[in-house]
Amino acid sequence: MQISTSRLGRSLAAACLCAGLCAALAQPALAVEVGGVKLDDTVQLASRELKLNGAGVRYKVIFKIYTIALYLPEKKTQLADILALPGPRRLEIVMLRDISSDELGQSFMQGLKRSSDQADRTRLLSQTMQFGAMFAMVPGLKKGDILTVDWLPEEGTLCKLNGKQVGDTVPDLAFYNALLKIWIGIHPADTLLRAHLLGDVA
């Protein structure tokens, strides 16, 4: 049985198109490159797909410290909407230089103090101490290390370093929201970085 060249050509073209689509779907979608770090457009967490809301670089004077990305179930540009958003969330921090765990821990604690009022800090003291103890388990962070800080609705705040859990989960959504405020609150660590995380900067 003979097959016409035109029909054969159409079949081959269709096969190539299908293969190309399958290959594209198999690859993670890369949305942006921030501070030399390639960030996925979406991530899977707690059986949900989270979208990249925004990302930026944290500087100290002129030095790049880390790239940070915020993933949410749906994109939001207002702090109140993000804090009220149900479902899982993720902060992903990719180190751009080596720092000690003490430096990172102090940075977190200073950020919490700056971005939360006294009443919230008092109410969340036990969770803050538990979170702070986590840094004692890590000798230091190296350039390229990836720290994820996830909110899991049925569990709490979960931290992983290079995919390995660090410490125990910390309960209370209010504590995770306090962490978010370090970067996207009214008194953020960096106003330009806040704008990037909220998707206000192209």
Higher pLDDT, 157 or 102: 157
- pTM, 2 dp: 0.83
> What pLDDT is recorded for position 30?
58
Q: Half-sphere exposure (CA, 13 Å, Cβ side) for 198?
A: 22
List the one residue out of 197, 169, 164 whose CA is nearest residue 181. 197
More confident residue, 190 or 31: 190
> In this predicted structure, what is the pLDDT of residue 72?
98
Least confident segment among 27-31, 143-147, 149-153, 157-161? 27-31
- The answer to whether residue 51 scores a pLDDT higher than 90 is yes
